[in-house]
Amino acid sequence: MTDEVLVLDAARTRAGLDPDRLAQALTRALVAVARGTVSAPPRIAAAAPAGLLGVMPAHVPGLGLAAKLVSVFADPAVPGRSSHRGVVALFDEKDGRPLAVMDAESITAVRTAATATLALRTLAGPDLNRIAVLGTGVQATAQLDLLARQYPDTSVVVGGRDPERARSLAARHPRATADTVEGAVRGSGAVLCCTGARAPVIHRSWLAEGAHVGSVGGSHGPELDGPTVDEGSLFVEWAGAVTAPLPAGAHELQGLAPDRATLLGEVLDGSHPGRRGAAELTVFKSTGHAALDVAAAAVAYAGAREAGRGISLTF
């Protein structure tokens, strides 16, 4: 036993997040959420004049014990957008020793993209001819990078308000092109929304029959329109996405009956069938969950230890 703590910057944190190992860890965390074995208190935040500091601790049996501290402040370089900076601290779940401190932005972006991709694999229809990625920011970039690794032969269309940014992002995938948001959505078998929207960015009438929709944005407002939520089979990471008030719950799901949503972990462990037919509209609404940060932190730490990455400090 040592008192050394591994410190990982953004690059080293990302380098340890192997997609296959991350998908396995996220599956384990989501199933644990569905079975009620995760300990994760409600999110709390301290308000400052120009932003807030959020704290999200959790324990996932067999994966670890961790807490994310993240600040959310307006980004002066990009009006209307916010920056998310912070750290994730990982502890030994058996004796409480601090094991690592790592970059929270990398953990959040990569595990969010990986969770959306896991939902895509689990819920999308069999004929996934084209995937639309909406947005051109940090989260859309993480999503496209993951699709480039896991869906390199599938056509991808990046939809964004800024054509130049959309074309630049599309260059990160071997079969991606750029279009308007509506143009990207129409004809796509799956639509992954990764925006900072304050109002719906898609409309039910744009969606193809049997489409899958994943939404990971919309922290400041609804990313999905009402008919898409109302007509789709709805899946979430945790029950609080529907039952918890803002900002913990999802904007789109406020006021819905709790039984309208199925936990993704229930599909992953086989207790719910997920998609029931080729023509069904499936909707995955993500709000994030501290258990997913634990999963990603555990993978990043293990990967860094195996590769000899990071700086070890004695606390």
Q: What is the pLDDT of residues 171-198, one digit of tens each?
A: 999 999 999 999 999 999 999 999 988 8
Residue 286: name the closest of 182, 186, 143, 169 by CA.
Answer: 143
Q: What integer pLDDT is reported at residue 212 of this predicted model? A: 98
How far apart are the C-alpha atoms of 18 and 302, rounded to whole Å?
10
Using CA atoms, how far residue 6 sits from 25, 82, 129, 197, in Å, is 20, 29, 43, 36
Question: Alpha helix locations (H) across the chain?
Answer: 10-15, 19-35, 104-123, 138-150, 163-170, 181-185, 226-231, 240-243, 264-268, 290-307
20: CB partners within 8 A, 6+ apart: none
Q: What is the pLDDT of residues 268-292, one digit of tens each?
A: 999 999 999 999 999 999 999 999 9
Place of tokens 């293990």: 302
Using CA atoms, how far residue 76 sits from 70, 73, 187, in Å, is 18, 9, 36
Residue 42 — very low, low, confident or very high, per pLDDT cuts 50/70/90?
Answer: confident
Indicate the DSSP class of residue 2: -
Q: What is the pLDDT of residues 211-257, one digit of tens each?
A: 999 999 977 899 999 999 999 999 999 999 999 998 889 999 999 99
Q: What integer pLDDT is reported at residue 81 of this predicted model? A: 63
Backbone angles phi, psi at 196, to 5 degrees: -100, 35
Residue 3 — very low, low, confident or very high, per pLDDT cuts 50/70/90?
Answer: confident
Residue 44 — very low, low, confident or very high, per pLDDT cuts 50/70/90?
Answer: confident
Question: Would strands 51-60 and 44-48 be described as parallel, antiparallel, or unpaired?
Answer: antiparallel
192, β-bridge pairs: 133, 214
pLDDT beyond 60 at 106: yes
Contact 223, 197 (CB under 8 A): yes
Q: What integer best gives the mean pLDDT of the chain? A: 95
How many residues are given for the chain? 315
How far apart are the C-alpha atoms of 52 and 93, rounded to whole Å?
28
- Domains of the chain (ranges; CATH) run 4-107+290-314 (3.30.1780.10), 122-285 (3.40.50.720)
Q: What is the pLDDT of residues 78-95, one digit of tens each?
A: 665 667 799 999 999 999
Average of per-residue pLDDT across 102-108: 96
